[in-house]
Amino acid sequence: MYGFSLDRRQTTGIDTTVTHKQTQNQIDPRPYSRQVVDGVTRAPARAMLRAVGFKDADFAKPQIGIASTWANLTPCNMHIAELAREAAAGADAAGGKSVLFNTITVSDGISMGSPGMRYSLVSREVIADSIETVVGAEGFDGFVAIGGCDKNMPGCAMAIARLDRPAVFVYGGTIRPGAQRRDIVTVFEAVGARAAGTISDERLAEVERTAIPGPGSCGGMYTANTMASAIEALGLSLPGSSAQDAVSAEKRADCLRAGEAVVKLLSQGIRPRDILTRKAFENAITVVIALGGSTNAVLHLLAIANDARIKLTLDDFTRIGRKVPVLADLRPSGRYLMSELVAIGGIQPLMKMLLDGGLLHGQCLTVTGGTLAENLAGAGAYPQGQDIVLPLSRPLKAESHLVVLHGNVAPEGAVAKITGKEGETFTGRARVFEGEERATEAILAGRVRAGDVVVIRNEGPKGGPGMREMLSPTGAIIGRGLGDKVALITDGRFSGGSHGFVVGHIAPEAAVGGPIGLLRNGDRITIDALKRQIEVDLPASELRRRRAAWKPRRPAVRGVLAKYAQLVSSASTGAVTTGSGEMPSRSRPR
């Protein structure tokens, strides 16, 4: 293990004539906790810590925070308290002193389609802010962050990037499939099927009761599994962490190793921003594309890059997407569940395939202390006969399914999820709805018909506020059998479970006067994934006339939603509430 043996007299105040001095080039394993517990004047702090279990010897150890997102309000996070204890045990065994603390989570699956969904993206900022606050205030020398539900992952990674202290992210793991390979998206689509009259109330109730069998994050390549994979590709989690069942010996061992790894990173002097380079973000984008991942990855990787002080833009997704194929046949648009990918080896063989194909930067540093190429050296191949992940020579789609669009509807950009199954172009008449609920009601009632382009606006970061996900309307569209017959565009965003001809993140959003706020029923809209355009068939003079008559819509919110609306940036820059600022000094505190 990676133990540290510092003279106890230096930390408890028993002999204050002895002070710590670093030798030249020696790495201080306690750069932050030393300021909290060393010396006579820190006796009050030590007294408080003794009450929560610190012994004399603990004050000489690096303090390792364990940020847990445990909560009993969602299956994604209900098991994370146990995982946090494993991570703490790993840190303690390696010579650190672990300290457990909690941050929040909210459930997208539960709040989806309700006003509560406005808090989902907000929770990403709250999670990042709260981890930064606790780690900064308590003087932890490093930390492990464990996330389950969608916003936990980017929230944890953003905090890791901001704090730039040795840290490892651990994914809580994927849920196992329900009866007949069901998952949460099965339930949303069953609601649409019930509205269409193709299933009965009894059938819907049976789907509801059997889709979610226990702990773990939603089971397809939805946002949670997408972001876990992206973070592993970034180098912030241990190899294999992103592709494990939530309830498994492998996941418990992953947590134990993560606690050990943070202490090792301290001894090596490796910080997150040594790992979070521009090439690391390119690796993450590449893996997300190959997996057919969620559009939310665009939003979240932009946000993580902002906190890592790396310049990343929508154009980077287009540039990388031109050369990276979609290889994994995973839900929502594909056939297989994440647990089935786990069973054949997870994402390590996929990453090895991408590396060997010249599509990944193998020299990127990771939390193992080694490079990505070194980590993948022992990765095996997928078993013969599997068709979950296809070879580079026979991809599902030759270019990225994440298509960044521009045009007079989205001058700053929009993000579409085009797998090819829904077609690559769509032209139709606008059906405009102010908010998600009205659109969902109209879809379920049969008032949306083939050839419509459903426009859901005033759901952007500021206008919602909160940029809700549109799984309820997209699930209703699929359930009613309209997936290839209508398109849906919004200044909101989509669940990783959404599929069909959908375009989100339209910027500028309606609330700040973006063109989506000027659209009217019957306007002819064309979405062309090949040309990467989204256009309304109106002359610029007509758009200017409508703009002159436009009046802002002010959402009646207070509290955290109001603060978020005031601070949040455009979706085109990640919907962040923190500016890029100046790169802080990389020197450790003195």
Residues 288, 297 contacting (CB under 8 angstroms): yes
Q: Give the HSE-up count for residue 172: Cα atoms under 13 Å, Cβ half-sphere.
A: 34
3-state DSSP assignment of residue 289 = helix
For 250: left if phi > 0, alpha if psi spans -120 to 50, otherwise beta; the answer is alpha
- Give the residue-averaged pLDDT of 125-134: 98
Give the rounded percent of residues in the chain with a pLDDT score beyond 90: 90
Q: Give the pLDDT of residue 13.
A: 38
Q: Give the pLDDT of residue 26.
A: 83
Q: Dump pLDDT digits (tens) for 403-437.
A: 999 999 999 999 999 988 878 999 999 999 999 99
Structure tokens belonging to residue 81: 């308290």
Give the rounded percent of residues in the chain with a pLDDT score beyond 70: 94
pLDDT higher than threshold 90 for residue 300: yes
Residues 410, 507 contacting (CB under 8 angstroms): yes
Cα–Cα separations (whole angstroms), residue 575 to 122, 331, 461, 547: 10, 26, 6, 24
Counting every residue written for the chain, the total comes to 590
Q: How far is CA 378 from the centre of its chain?
A: 27
User: Picking from 20-34, 36-50, 430-444, 483-497, which range would have the lowest pLDDT averaged per residue?
Assistant: 20-34
Structure tokens belonging to residue 216: 């773990």
* Residue 535: closest CA among 410, 447, 383, 369: 410
Element counts in the chain: helices (H) and strands (E): 22, 12
Cα–Cα separations (whole angstroms), residue 398 to 314, 355, 418: 20, 17, 12
3-state DSSP assignment of residue 300 = helix
Q: Give the pLDDT of residue 584.
A: 44
Q: Can you tell me the distance from the alpha carbon of 450 to that of 453, in angstroms, rounded to the nearest whole number?
A: 9
> Domain 402-573 falls in which CATH fold?
Glucose Oxidase; domain 1 (3.50.30)
Structure confidence at residue 556 as a pLDDT band (50, 70, 90): confident
- Phi and psi of 90, rounded to 5°? -65, -45
pLDDT higher than threshold 70 for residue 335: yes
Domain-wise residue ranges, the chain: 62-176+214-376, 402-573
Q: Give the pLDDT of residue 419.
A: 86
Structure tokens belonging to residue 238: 């241990």
* Alpha helices per DSSP H over 433-528: 436-444, 471-479
- pTM of the full structure: 0.94
- Give the residue-averaged pLDDT of 366-382: 97
Type of residue numbered 120 = S
> Average pLDDT of the chain?
93
Q: In what order do the strands lie in the sheet with 501-507?
A: 402-405, 413-417, 501-507, 487-490, 452-457, 425-434, 524-528, 533-536
Enumerate residues 6+ apart whose C-beta is below 8 A from 440. 113, 472, 473, 476
Q: Dump pLDDT digits (tens) for 29-52.
A: 999 999 999 999 999 999 999 999
User: Picking from 117-121, 338-342, 554-558, which range would have the lowest pLDDT averaged per residue?
Assistant: 554-558
* Residue 446: closest CA among 484, 480, 487: 480
Q: Dump pLDDT digits (tens) for 505-521.
A: 999 999 999 999 999 99
User: How does DSSP classify residue 60?
Assistant: G
Residue numbers annotated as active site: 495
Q: Give the pLDDT of residue 589.
A: 41
3-state DSSP assignment of residue 533 = strand
Structure confidence at residue 491 as a pLDDT band (50, 70, 90): very high
Q: How far is CA 274 from the centre of its chain?
A: 21
User: How does DSSP classify residue 243?
Assistant: S
Other residues' Cβ atoms within 10 Å of the Cβ of residue 399: 19
Q: Can you tell me the distance from the alpha carbon of 491 to that of 22, in angstroms, rounded to the nearest whole number?
A: 53
Q: Give the pLDDT of residue 25.
A: 60
User: What class does CATH assign to 62-176+214-376?
Assistant: alpha beta
pLDDT higher than threshold 90 for residue 72: yes
Q: Who has greater pLDDT, 170 or 13?
A: 170
- Give the residue-averaged pLDDT of 192-208: 96
Q: Give the pLDDT of residue 422.
A: 78
